[in-house]
Structure 1
Amino acid sequence: MSTKKNNDHSGNGLFNQSLEKGLAILLAFSPDMRTMNLSDIAKATGISRSAAQRFTYTLEALGYLQKHPINKRYSLRVSTLALGYRYLLVNQNVERANPFLLDLNLTCGETVNYSEPDRSDMVYVGRFPTSRRTPVHMPLGRRLPMYCTSAGRAYLSRLPAQQRKEILTASERVPYTHTTVTDIDKLLELCDEAADSGYAYANGEYYAGDMNVSAAVLDTSGVPIGVVSISAPETRWSLSDLRRQLAPLVMETARLISVRDPSPAELEPFAIGAGKAPPSAG
Structure 2
Amino acid sequence: MTSDTLSGKKAKSPRNGGDQLLEVDDRLFLQSVARALYVLEAFGRDARPMSLSEIAASARITKSAAQRAAQTLLSLGYLERSSDGGLLPGRRLLDRAFDYLRSNPLIERATPILIELRKNSGERVDFSLFDDLSILYAIRLQSKRETFFATLAGRRIPTFCSSGGRSMLAHLDDAAIDDILRRSERKALTPKTITDLDKIWDKVREARREGYAYAVEESLLGEVVLSAAVLDDRRQPVAAVHIAGSLSEWTVDDFRKRFAPLAIEAARALSY
- TM superposition score category, shorter chain reference: 0.7 to 0.9
Describe how 1:1-282 pairs up with structure 2 within 5 A.
3-4=17-18, 7=21, 12-30=26-44, 32=46, 34-67=48-81, 72-130=85-143, 132-134=144-146, 137-259=150-272
Q: 1:115 to 1:38 in 2, by over 3 A?
A: same
Residues 3 and 119 in structure 1, CA contact (< 8 A), matched pair in contact too: no
1:6, CA displacement in angstroms? 5.2
The alignment's TM-score, normalised by the length of structure 2, stands at 0.87
Superposition CA RMSD, Å: 2.2
Ranges in structure 1 where 5+ consecutive residues have no aligned partner = 260-282
1:205, CA displacement in angstroms? 1.1
Secondary structure of the residue that 1:22 maps to in structure 2?
helix
Distance 2:29 2:16 in 1: 24
Secondary structure of the residue that 1:36 maps to in structure 2?
coil
1:16, CA displacement in angstroms? 1.1
* Counterpart for residue 263 of structure 1: none
Kindly indicate whether structure 1 or structure 2 has the higher relative contact order, using CA contacts under 8 Å at least 6 residues apart.
1
Residues 160 and 184 in structure 2, CA contact (< 8 A), matched pair in contact too: yes
1:11, CA displacement in angstroms? 7.3
Which amino acid counterpart does residue 133 of structure 1 have in structure 2? R
Secondary structure of the residue that 2:248 maps to in structure 1?
coil
Q: Percent identity?
A: 37
1:30, CA displacement in angstroms? 4.3
Secondary structure of the residue that 2:74 maps to in structure 1?
helix
1:75, CA displacement in angstroms? 2.2
Distance 2:192 2:207 in 1: 18
Q: 1:99 to 1:72 in 2, by over 3 A?
A: closer
1:23, CA displacement in angstroms? 0.5
Residues 145 and 152 in structure 1, CA contact (< 8 A), matched pair in contact too: yes
1:146, CA displacement in angstroms? 1.3
Residues 110 and 129 in structure 1, CA contact (< 8 A), matched pair in contact too: yes
Please list the CA deviations of residues 20-49 of structure 1 after superposition, one character each: whole Å capped at 9, or x if unmatched. 100110111247352222222222222222
Distance 1:36 1:129 in 2: 30
Ranges in structure 2 where 5+ consecutive residues have no aligned partner = 1-14
1:119, CA displacement in angstroms? 2.5
Which amino acid counterpart does residue 142 of structure 1 have in structure 2? R
* Counterpart for residue 3 of structure 2: none
1:64, CA displacement in angstroms? 1.3
Distance 1:9 1:16 in 2: 14
Distance 1:2 1:188 in 2: 24
1:170, CA displacement in angstroms? 1.4
* Counterpart for residue 275 of structure 1: none
Residues 2 and 172 in structure 1, CA contact (< 8 A), matched pair in contact too: no
Distance 1:199 1:230 in 2: 11
Secondary structure of the residue that 1:29 maps to in structure 2?
helix
